[in-house]
Structure formats: C-alpha cells, structure tokens
Amino acid sequence: MTQRSMSSLITSLLKSGADSDGNSPPDQALKSVNSGEMKCSGPPLDQVIKWLVEGHSDGDIVDAIGQFWPDESAEDLINAGLDKITDAGKVEPALIDGWCLMARRELYRRMLEIGDFAGALRATEKIESLVNKKR
C-alpha cells in the first residue's frame, strides 16, 4: 500500500472507526485493545511501529492510539511509523548480507552449545550459500 493510499485509509478510519476492510465496528477494535491483544509497552512511535510490524489491523491501531495517547494524531503517528519502516528498507545489500552472515554464525555457535547438530548443519549450509552467492 502506498503512503498516499495508507494516509487516505487512515483518514477514513478516523472518521468511521472501521477496520481496513471497512466492516468492523469501533467497539470491536476497542474490545481487542482492552482484551490484551494489543499491549502498550513503549513510546508512541515505537509502539505504533511494533503494532504495524505485528500485523494489527489499521482500525485496531487507530483505536489503540486513541486509548493510550488521546492527544496524539493517529494519522501522524501511523505515517511516521510507515516512514520509519520504509527507511529501514533503505540499507546497502552488503550490510544485510554481513548481518545475516554474522547472525547465522552466532546461531551456529549456540546450536553447537545445546547439541542441535541438525540446526548447526542447516546454519552452515546457509552460510555457505551466502558466501557462494558473493563469488
């Protein structure tokens, strides 16, 4: 979904209280917030990013923002969260490759420590494929 269409969706959600399908009543979204499905454990922007990444519906996020931070603009917070997520994808491929290689190496080490030799072998094979991809 593009930034512009997401912004339009958010604006309509703020007016209607519906979810992204347009068919959830506002009290259903509040129920999910109150039932503990959406927990608040950080500053507004960090929490909104977490909810977006976790896949919560747009309507639930809008309602949760209204509940936890009633003085904040849901549209502004969600757009700022989408911007941060977009920026996270603007990384040099070599950096991602290096991070993946180091993470796999750490997982390999931990798997050997706990005796997960099958997992260690899979990690080794993945490391090999990452290295061969560069050749």
pLDDT at 19: 44
Question: Is 117's pLDDT higher than 80?
Answer: yes
- Band (6; pLDDT cuts 50, 70, 90): low
Q: What pLDDT was estimated at residue 77? A: 96
Q: What is the pTM of this model?
A: 0.52
The pLDDT value given to residue 15: 45
What's the pLDDT score for residue 27? Answer: 38
Question: Alpha carbon 33 to chain centroid distance?
Answer: 17
Alpha-helix runs per DSSP H in the chain: 3-16, 26-34, 44-54, 58-68, 74-88, 93-114, 117-134
Question: Does pLDDT of 58 surpass 60?
Answer: yes
